[in-house]
């Protein structure tokens, strides 16, 4: 299947169900796949950070995590069937792993948040086999050691609850070394599952206002960031539309 490109990034036009099945197939076949998630902010930051852009581009699956990405795709003639939110994929894979007895590793967040999340997971998925866990506070010099610990645990699914670009850089450099069949960066999902932050109601998600809901919770930290990246993403979309749409003069010349 040909991967469509949006803002120069090749995306996989998969539904949530198709993505979950692709991950389970990788475990069954013994393949290794790394998942990259993009939203409006990350696509903007990829323009500014070549290392982040290269790390995402190197992933085996690149999915539209943000509703704004799906809408921009439709506006620009790039078909993306639906948003595949990172946290929703995380929960779906945990549920599937519990049923299929697939061991998982949870890497990220502060230690106290990680422990709170593990408690929530044990309640929601009592039969889930957690092969190991570690907080996300480690130096770059420790990345190989961390990857080897994941490999030694025998985990087949690795979830990274770390911020960008740390999780993408770790995935690009050491994802294969972990031995996990699926590496999925879930960002702030650990905080949400632990109950530290609240996720936007479904209606807000459908309207593409999850970012605004988060801003209301942390206005000082996130307000300026989201305002800046959203404006930049809108400008990117307009420029892309102009680039993709031939001018009237060019169209007339092509018909002479």
What's the pLDDT tens digit per position in 197-228? 888 888 888 888 888 888 888 888 877 878 89
- Higher pLDDT residue, 254 or 188? 188
Strands of the chain (E only): list them. Answer: 5-6, 9-10, 33-38, 61-64, 104-108, 130-134, 157-161, 182-185
SS3 call for 105 = strand
pTM: 0.91
**Is 244 in contact with 79 (CB distance < 8 Å)?**
no
- Higher pLDDT residue, 2 or 167? 167
SS3 call for 9 = strand
Provide the pLDDT for residue 1: 61
Cα angle, residue 55 at apex, residues 243 and 221 outer, rounded to 5°: 85
CA–CA gap between residue 169 and residue 207 (Å, rounded): 31
């Amino acid at each position: 299947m040909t991967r469509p490109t949006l803002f120069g990034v090749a995306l996989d036009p998969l539904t949530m169900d198709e993505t979950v099945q692709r991950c389970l197939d990788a475990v069954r076949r013994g393949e290794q796949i790394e998942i990259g998630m993009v939203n409006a902010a990350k696509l903007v930051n990829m323009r500014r950070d070549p290392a982040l852009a290269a790390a995402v581009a190197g992933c085996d699956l690149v999915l539209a995590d943000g509703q704004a990405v799906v809408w921009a795709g439709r506006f620009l003639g790039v078909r993306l069937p639906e948003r595949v939110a990172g946290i929703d994929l995380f929960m779906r894979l945990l549920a599937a792993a519990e049923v299929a007895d697939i061991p998982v590793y949870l890497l990220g967040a502060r230690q106290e948040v990680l422990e709170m999340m593990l408690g929530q997971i044990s309640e929601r998925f009592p039969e889930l086999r957690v092969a190991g866990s570690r907080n996300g506070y480690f130096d770059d010099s420790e990345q190989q050691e961390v990857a080897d610990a994941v490999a030694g645990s025998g985990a087949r699914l690795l979830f990274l609850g770390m911020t960008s670009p740390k999780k993408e850089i770790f995935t690009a450099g050491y994802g294969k070394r972990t031995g996990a069949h699926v590496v999925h960066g879930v960002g702030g999902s650990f905080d949400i599952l632990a109950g530290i932050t609240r996720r936007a109601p479904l209606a807000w998600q459908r309207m593409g206002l999850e970012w605004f809901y988060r801003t209301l919770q942390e206005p000082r930290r996130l307000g300026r960031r989201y305002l800046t990246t959203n404006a930049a993403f809108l400008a990117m979309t307009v420029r892309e539309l102009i680039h993709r749409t031939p001018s009237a003069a060019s169209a007339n010349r092509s018909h002479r």
